[in-house]
Chain A
Amino acid sequence: MSSSSTTTTTTRLLMLKASDGVTFEVEEAVATKLGAINNMVEEEGSEDLICLPNVNGKFLGMVLEWCKKHANNNTNSDKGNDEVNKWWDKEFVMDLDQNTLYHLLMAADYLSGTELVDLLTEKVASMIRGKKVEEIRETFKIKSDFLPGQEEEIRKKNSWAFE
Chain B
Amino acid sequence: MAHDQKRVKLEDHGTKEEEVREPNTITTGVDRFSQLPDSIICEILSSLPTIQAVRTSILSKRWRRIWYSLPFLYFNDSVVGGSFDLNKFHKFVGTCLELRKNDMFGATDTPVTKFELVLYKSKSKSITDGWLKAVAQSNVKELAVQTQNMRTHYGLPVDVLRARSLTVLDLYFVRLWGLRSISLPSLFEPLKSLEIYCERKRTTFRIEAVNLEYLLGSGYAAYFDFGLSSYGALTELSFTCSRFSDEWLEALTLKLPVLECLTLTDCENLTYWKLKSNLKKPSEYDMDWYINLLKFLSSLNCSEYLSLDVSSEEALIFPKELRKVYSSPLPNLEDLEVRTSSPSADNSDLRESLMWASPSLETLSIYPK
Contact = CB atoms under 8 A, between A and B. Distances in A.
Best-buried of B8, B79, B91, B92 by chain A (most CB within 10 Å): B8
B6 A23 contact: yes
Contacts of A113: none
A105 B41 CA distance: 11
Contact of B44 (A98, A99, A121, A160): A121
Interface stretch (B21-29, B136-144, B248-256, B313-321): B21-29
Interface residues of A, number: 51
B55 A144 contact: no
A103 B40 CA distance: 12
Interface stretch (B57-65, B126-134, B237-245): B57-65
In this complex, the interface size class of chain B, counting residues with CB under 8 Å from chain A, is 35 or more
B35 A144 contact: no
B9 interface: yes
Contact of A158 (B57, B62, B79): B57
Given A125-B48, A144-B60, A145-B61, A22 B27 contact: no
Contacts of B55: 133, 161-162
Contact of B32 (A99, A109, A118, A136): A99
A86 interface: no
A140 B326 CA distance: 57
B94 to A, nearest CB: 8
Interface of B: 4, 6-10, 16, 19-24, 27, 29-37, 39-40, 43-45, 47-48, 51-52, 54-64, 79, 81, 85, 88, 91-92, 95
Interface of A: 20-26, 30, 56-58, 61, 64-65, 68, 97-99, 101-103, 105-106, 109, 117-118, 121-122, 124-125, 128-130, 133, 136-137, 140-146, 151, 154-155, 158, 160-163
**10 A-B pairs with the lowest CB-CB distances in the bound complex, closest first:** A102-B32, A99-B27, A140-B33, A57-B20, A161-B54, A125-B47, A160-B95, A121-B44, A58-B20, A121-B43
